[in-house]
Amino acid sequence: MLQIPVEDFLKFDLQKPLRLDRQFDLVVSLEVAEHLPSQCAETFTDSLVSLGEIVLFSAAIPFQGGTHHVNEQWPDYWVKIFQERGYVAIDCIRKRVWQNPNVEWWYAQNILLFVKENCLENYPALKAEFEKTNPSQLSIVHPEHFTGKSRSEEELKRLSSISNRPLREVLSCLLGLTKNALKRRVAKTLPKN
């Protein structure tokens, strides 16, 4: 359900160039780019930079997982595309939200600011953050994502070990687990002497 007035909403196929007759102080694209085919990455980036000189951007990294992720890329991939258009990456947000429980881990992991390089002088605070940005540390994995993937891997191994056992053994184990669960439940309902 749309949460803004319908007249303020513009439906558009982001695989095609988007051109509006205006610029914005801040262009925002959070966790969108990975849903577009890789052959649309440059067109999509062109659309973003045509809308303003500062772009708040995040996109899923490889193996992040999600619904209809068709182009998961490391931030370095996006940095290169933005650089070809005269924009520099500024990593000024992630360190401020990395441990914030109110910010989903994928935003904390992926969010970068891209600023048109020849406009940096107009934004002294962003220029200072740009000078602190380490380009070799843009592709990072959030601990919560890593832990989640590790747990999933362990669960798959456990399930795999069950699948290699004879059916009789698996059924016997399930019967024992069910019997123990029922005993605990019945014991909770009986009055204690």
Q: What is the pLDDT of residue 148?
A: 60
pLDDT recorded at residue 191: 65
DSSP strands (E only) in the chain: 27-30, 54-58, 87-90, 112-116
Q: Domain check: are 136 and 152 in the same one?
A: no
- What's residue 137's pLDDT? 81
Strands 27-30 and 54-58: parallel
Do residue 155 and residue 61 come from a single domain?
no
Q: How many domains does the chain have?
A: 2
Q: Which CATH number goes with the domain that contains 116? A: 3.40.50
Q: Is residue 1 situated within a structural domain?
A: no
| Sequence-ordered list of residues with C-beta below 8 angstroms from that of 91, at least 6 positions apart, any chain | 112, 113, 129, 133, 134, 137, 138
Residue 10, in any domain of the structure: yes
Q: Give residue 150's pLDDT.
A: 47
Verify that 176 and 100 share a domain, yes or no: no
Q: Tokens 């009055």 belong to which residue?
A: 191
Q: Which domain holds residue 164?
A: 147-189
Helix axes of 41-50 and 75-83: crossing angle, nearest 10 degrees = 60
Pair (18, 90) in one structural domain = yes
pLDDT of res. 184: 63
Q: pTM for this structure?
A: 0.73
Same domain as 102, residue 27: yes
What confidence score (pLDDT) does residue 75 get?
95
110, 75 contact by CB (below 8 A): yes
- Starting at the edge strand found earlier in the chain, the sheet holding 87-90 runs 27-30, 54-58, 112-116, 87-90
Phi/psi of residue 39, each to 5°? -70, -10
Q: Report angle CA 122, 84, 30 to the nearest 5 degrees.
A: 75
Do 156 and 130 share a structural domain?
A: no
For the chain, residues with pLDDT lower than 50 are 149-150
For residue 90, give the nearest of 69, 114, 106, 58 by alpha carbon: 114
Contact between residue 109 and residue 142 where contact means Cβ atoms under 8 Å apart? yes
